[in-house]
Amino acid sequence: MESIVDIRDVFLGYDRNSIILENINVKINKGQFFVIKGKNGIGKTTFIRFLYMKLLPIKGEYYIFNNKVETKDRTYIQKTRKRIGVIQQNSYLIPYLSVFQNIQISLEIQSKDKCNFNDKILQILKWVGIERKINEKIQTLSSGERQKVILARAVVSNPELIIADEPVLNLDDQTKKKIFFLLRSLTRLGTTVILSGSNIDFEEENNSILNLDEHYRG
């Protein structure tokens, strides 16, 4: 099975004297739904930043798409990020622009083909279930609707890997289930999904899980 992420004996922190997470060994395959668990403040966001190459390891090796991430190779890092869709806790939507415009901006940044994106954006909004909001300004949407826009923006460029940091934080149970359903459906198309979460019983879904509590140096 094709490996998308391969983490070998990784230590993460601010420097060698301030290690947060240690001895992490994980391999994540194509089309896998992978969950990062841990208590609040344990380092889940730190690990997500590492996966997206915003933070490089103090020790150990990180391979993504079968290539080793090197500290000095900024060109490779930037190129690789275009193959990844990211949902961060503070994912920023421009409140005075419409749903369509927010997603269009993301497509224009990611795509080399400056074609008309209308059909693609409408298709992705239908997928998340908010196509009727296409011309609504972000500031008029509910928190659940905004999170669906963030999800749509992350997947509209057909990334090979989705990395999501607490994607259902502060959402109601019904919206949480919808977001999880959408993310899981991506794996059936071959997309790899990595998400972090706390206080959610992921074990019931037979997911692959990394519990960061076991790697926290404290």
23 within a domain of the structure (yes/no): no
101 within a domain of the structure (yes/no): yes
The pLDDT, as a whole number, for residue 206 is 56
- The type of residue at 64 is I
56 within a domain of the structure (yes/no): no
Give the model's confidence band at 205: pLDDT under 50 very low, under 70 low, under 90 confident, else very high: low
- Give the model confidence (pLDDT) of 95-152 as tens digits: 999 999 999 998 887 765 656 788 889 999 999 999 999 999 999 999 899 999 999 9
Domain count, the chain: 1
74 within a domain of the structure (yes/no): no
CA atoms within 13 A on the CB side of 178: 16
71 within a domain of the structure (yes/no): no
pTM of the model: 0.90
116 within a domain of the structure (yes/no): yes
Read off the pLDDT of each residue in 180-206 and give the average, rounded to a whole number.
Answer: 81
- Give the model confidence (pLDDT) of 64-85 as tens digits: 999 999 877 788 898 999 999 9
Find the domain containing 123 and state its range: 92-158
Long-range contacts from 176-182, C-beta under 8 angstroms, 24+ separation = 178/129, 178/148, 179/147, 179/148, 179/151, 182/127, 182/128, 182/151
107 within a domain of the structure (yes/no): yes
132 within a domain of the structure (yes/no): yes
